[in-house]
Structure 1
Amino acid sequence: MLRLVTTSLCLYCQRAHATPLLLTRPRSVIVQEENPLAINALYDLSVDISKVRKPRGWVLRQSPVYVSETAALLRDMGASGPVIARVLELHPEDILCKPDQIEAQKKLWMSVCTSQKDLVGIIEKFPASFFTSSSDHDNQKANIAYFQMLHLNKRIISKLMASASQSFRRPIEQNEQMIQTLQKTYLDLGGKEDNMKIWLQKLLTQNPYVLLKLPDTLHDNVVFLRNAGFTGDELLRLFSKLKGFVTELNPESMRLTLSYSRETLGCTETELRQIVLQCPALLYYSVPILADRFKGLLTAGVSMEQIMETPTVLELTTQIVQYRIQKLRSFGYDVCSGSLEVLNGTKKDFEMSYVKLRFRQERPLFNPVATLRTKE
């Protein structure tokens, strides 16, 4: 059977066409009809059905559904009508969760959320993290207890659950193994026991997905960087600047990138390590990307010495660098004869620097012997 679905700007017309018109089609192809109860209940909540039908139309063909029950629970927690509609549009699978299952999730999440308002904010951004299978509940509960045992505060735990929910759905042993590896690495590099909790919290906040990586990956990367000459203290600083993304690297790609960077910059291994500490991006950018960025800077007239003094400029794409250099040159400022620091930072940072430089370049000089104009 084949469904013919028509749409209209009028909500009443949309409801009228919610029950599909069926046309004859070969019996070998069977298309299940949409559940009219689900459609009508979603319309009552001002949900845009087209946003549900296109990516996850299968949800609308399920039965039973719990649209009103899900909406009521969210409303009781303080969610507004528009918020409820957005949640159901973003993750329509919510309507398949049984009320008792949602209540159990609410109780679990409130053990790490400071208020129902905070939980509603999480659900609005990460509905898939809240509306999970009942089979995940035991693992979630065990992992919450484990992270509380580590004395991580509620805000950190709730953020981990929201942004990296997979790590809370898997067996606790896997998270324990990664956390223990991180702790051992920190202490082996010379970190202080008293500061370990703060270091761990910062690392997990910066990159929650670090929990999903293999402990061997972290070990291999540390060994490589140690062999490259970095001291324990330097590695702790480097990990801090990498913001937890050290597990995204691998020895072979780092070897190629460091070799290319040293050859291109014409520096010693000691100088290269200091450059990497200033610009950790050198570790994870591929050789083709770095080659393009070096070429762009050199073509613009920037010297290799300037790049070595301000290596963080390599974190910017060639297009951004060219645009910023051109904009600075438009009022007569030539970065090639000064520091590249003015090019760095976010778009907002650059705009502020640009305004300050332009004002400094264009403001009139004060003449102390000129006659002052006064009102007569």
Structure 2
Amino acid sequence: MLRLIAATLCLRCQRVRALPANLRSCATLSSAENRHTVEALYNLSVDIQKIRKLKGWVLHQSPVYVREVADLLKDMGASGAIVARILALHPEAILCSPDQVRAQRELWMSVCRNQTELVGIIEKFPASFFTSSSHHVNQRDNIAYFQSLHLNKRIITKLMASAPQSFSRPVGQNEVMVCTLQQAYLELGGEEANMRIWLQKLLSQNPFVLLKPPEVLRQNLLFLRDKGFTTAELLRLLSKLRGFVTELNPDSMRHTLAYAQDTMGCSEAELRGIVLECPALLYYSETILAERFQGLLGSGIRMAQIIETPTVLELTTQIVNYRIQRLRAHGYDIRTGSLKPLSGTKKDFEMSYGKLQLRRERPLFNPVAPLKADD
């Protein structure tokens, strides 16, 4: 009896030794998981625990193509570490057959400069690359359509990567939205010679604009026209807001503009000028605007200064306070000076801050220059 127990234990030990070291160090496999899938992923150093936590259902599927997908990615130039990151982030990739992956590679290479660029896109947007084969025809047709518009290949790849839904749907839906945008641009006085560049910038700023109903754009432009904006001003707004004008709606804009006008105590004409200077004002809710007005006024800034430089409203209260402290350290009193050094992007602020720093450190006279002698 003791010999039988010892023999059984010995066989169990042999089975444990037969398992790969990386599997022995991991938690016990779920009975429903595909053992071959888990082994193949471990051999590629993929974070299995991350997959189990977020997309564990993938480990239960069959058939899978772990090795085949990994080899195709490596053929494109992806390192082992990049392959592991891609599969951990988007494990659904292993459900794509080699033929699907090759077809996608061929499709994407029609707009990518080289395979290195494609690997970079897959690493950031794996779900956009590993799509269903049923979308392939729509993807191909949409690529051909955007190429017919003479859009830059970089813009097309950005659209495919960041807004893949727009390429998975029938090309006719994109044609309708693009025609609506072009028509609005021309009706507002845009020049046809500049339309391609304008459209590229718009799609680059907001790739999701293609997924919005064309009626939304028309409704928003009609609302703004009713608020007194001229045709030229509407074109300026459309260009500044890029595709984000489709994120708005008349009701939210009506409440925002009414609150802003009441708080700043300005006329409708002055309000339009403020919006043209700071189009982002249209996005903010009353709650956000109230917080930002309160933060600015609490820092000693006057309402007249805000009206003069409304772009300061684009900054959160935390950023405003941080920048005020840095400017104050170099002797700039934001309460009496212009708000221009305070507003703008991080790059804009650093440039303004650097100029103030140089101005403070620059000597009033050159101590090594010879003094002028009286004649």
TM-score (norm 1): 0.88
Aligned to 1:327: 326
Please list, as runs of the form range in 1=range in 2, the aligned pairs for 1:65-84 lying within 5 A after superposition: 65-84=64-83
Partner residue of 1:20 out of 7, 25, 28: 28
Aligned to 1:280: 279
Partner AA of 1:103 in structure 2:
R
CA distance in 1, matches of 2:31, 2:242: 48
User: Do the aligned residues in 1 keep the contact of 2:259 with 2:286 (CA within 8 Å)?
Assistant: yes
Q: Does 1:108 align with 2:116?
A: no
CA-to-aligned-CA distance 1:313-361 (integer Å, 9 cap, x gap): 0000112112222332234321111100111123343344334323423
Please list, as runs of the form range in 1=range in 2, the aligned pairs for 1:47-58 lying within 5 A after superposition: 47-58=46-57
Secondary structure at the aligned position of 1:267 is classed as coil
Alignment gaps of 5+ in structure 2: 1-18
CA distance in 2, matches of 1:38, 1:367: 74
Aligned to 2:7: none
Aligned to 2:304: 305
CA distance in 1, matches of 2:253, 2:205: 21
1:261 is displaced (CA, Å) by 1.3
Q: Which runs of 4+ in 1 moved over 4 A?
A: 367-372
1:111 is displaced (CA, Å) by 1.3
Aligned to 2:126: 127
Partner AA of 2:60 in structure 1:
R
User: Do the aligned residues in 2 keep the contact of 1:20 with 1:33 (CA within 8 Å)?
Assistant: no
CA distance in 2, matches of 1:370, 1:124: 59
Secondary structure at the aligned position of 1:337 is classed as coil
CA distance in 2, matches of 1:127, 1:175: 23
Aligned to 1:265: 264
CA distance in 2, matches of 1:19, 1:339: 62
Aligned to 1:118: 117
CA distance in 2, matches of 1:370, 1:245: 56
- Change over 3 Å in CA distance of 1:19–1:320 after alignment to 2: closer
1:286 is displaced (CA, Å) by 0.7
- Which stretch shifts more, 190-199 or 358-367? 358-367
1:163 is displaced (CA, Å) by 0.6
CA distance in 1, matches of 2:312, 2:355: 20
User: Do the aligned residues in 2 keep the contact of 1:19 with 1:36 (CA within 8 Å)?
Assistant: no
- Change over 3 Å in CA distance of 1:182–1:367 after alignment to 2: closer
CA-to-aligned-CA distance 1:129-157 (integer Å, 9 cap, x gap): 00001111111111112112222222211
CA-to-aligned-CA distance 1:8-46 (integer Å, 9 cap, x gap): xxx96432255836xxxxxxxxx7521121111111211
Secondary structure at the aligned position of 2:219 is classed as helix
CA distance in 2, matches of 1:100, 1:331: 63
1:168 is displaced (CA, Å) by 0.6
TM-score (norm 2): 0.89
CA distance in 1, matches of 2:68, 2:50: 21
Aligned to 1:192: 191
CA-to-aligned-CA distance 1:218-265 (integer Å, 9 cap, x gap): 110010011111122211211222132000000111111111111222
Aligned to 1:26: none
Partner AA of 1:55 in structure 2:
L
Aligned to 1:144: 143
CA-to-aligned-CA distance 1:76-118 (integer Å, 9 cap, x gap): 1111111111111110100010111111111111111121111
User: Do the aligned residues in 2 keep the contact of 1:204 with 1:210 (CA within 8 Å)?
Assistant: yes
Partner AA of 1:20 in structure 2:
T
CA distance in 2, matches of 1:210, 1:69: 36
CA distance in 2, matches of 1:360, 1:19: 63
User: Do the aligned residues in 2 keep the contact of 1:18 with 1:36 (CA within 8 Å)?
Assistant: no
CA root-mean-square deviation: 2.1
Aligned to 1:180: 179
- Change over 3 Å in CA distance of 1:105–1:264 after alignment to 2: same
Alignment gaps of 5+ in structure 1: 1-10, 22-30
CA distance in 1, matches of 2:206, 2:368: 60
CA distance in 2, matches of 1:347, 1:261: 25
Please list, as runs of the form range in 1=range in 2, the aligned pairs for 1:124-273 lying within 5 A after superposition: 124-273=123-272
* Percentage of identical aligned residues: 68
CA distance in 2, matches of 1:305, 1:137: 56
User: Do the aligned residues in 1 keep the contact of 2:142 with 2:167 (CA within 8 Å)?
Assistant: yes
Please list, as runs of the form range in 1=range in 2, the aligned pairs for 1:334-373 lying within 5 A after superposition: 334-366=333-365
Partner AA of 1:160 in structure 2:
L
Secondary structure at the aligned position of 1:138 is classed as helix
CA distance in 1, matches of 2:24, 2:354: 57
- Which stretch shifts more, 295-304 or 90-99? 295-304
User: Do the aligned residues in 2 keep the contact of 1:293 with 1:318 (CA within 8 Å)?
Assistant: yes
- Change over 3 Å in CA distance of 1:266–1:205 after alignment to 2: same
- Which stretch shifts more, 353-362 or 66-75? 353-362
CA distance in 1, matches of 2:155, 2:369: 62
- Which stretch shifts more, 351-360 or 152-161? 351-360
